[in-house]
Amino acid sequence: MAGGIKYKDHDGHKTGRDVDIRPIRKDGKEAPVNRLDSQYDRDATAKLIELFFESNIIQVIFFNDLTIPRVRPLQRHDDHFHVTIKE
């Protein structure tokens, strides 16, 4: 949240440079999925994360699927990945 508004469970979302994104599902449904679910599409999610990093504007991505290069683990990041954009 830009301007530093307090937002439950999202202490890092204060500058307007942070976004949470759900992993991609194999079945194409627009519904939550966890990295441990059978419908989690690791390849498609990894490609999306790779595209973010290729933009050269990404500071860090937190996600608990450590098979994906360059992501860092963080508690409670199994069902979404957190992207922080550089200043």
Which residues does 36 contact at the CB level (< 8 Å), separation at least 6?
78
Confidence of residue 30 (pLDDT cuts 50, 70, 90): very high
Q: Please, where are the H alpha helices in 1-87?
A: 42-54
- pLDDT beyond 90 at 22: yes
| Ranges 12-16, 31-35, 47-51, 67-71: which has the least confidence | 12-16
pLDDT band at 58 (very low <50, low <70, confident <90, very high): very high
Residue in 72, 52, 56 with CA at minimum distance from that of residue 64:
72
Q: 44 to each of 40, 50, 53, 75, how far by Cα in Å?
A: 9, 10, 14, 22
As a whole number, the mean pLDDT across the chain is 89
Domain ranges of the chain: 18-85
pLDDT score at 37: 98
Interatomic CA distance for residues 86 and 81, integer angstroms: 16
Distance CA 23, CA 1 (A): 21
